[in-house]
Homo-oligomer: A and B are copies of this chain.
Amino acid sequence: MGLVKVYVTYKESILDPQGEAIKSAIHGMGHTSINDVRMGKYFELNVDNNVSDIDSEINLICDDLLANPNMETYRYEILEDAE
Binding site for B on A (CB under 8 A): 1, 7-9, 19, 22, 25-26, 29, 31, 33-48, 50-51, 57, 60-61, 64-66
Pick from B26, B33, B36: contact of A50, CB below 8 A.
Answer: B33
A38 engages B34 (CB within 8 Å): no
Q: List 28 A-B contacts (CB under 8 A).
A: A8-B42, A22-B43, A26-B61, A29-B60, A29-B64, A29-B65, A31-B57, A31-B60, A31-B61, A33-B48, A33-B50, A33-B51, A33-B57, A34-B46, A34-B47, A34-B61, A35-B46, A35-B47, A36-B46, A37-B43, A37-B44, A37-B45, A37-B46, A39-B41, A39-B42, A39-B43, A40-B44, A41-B41
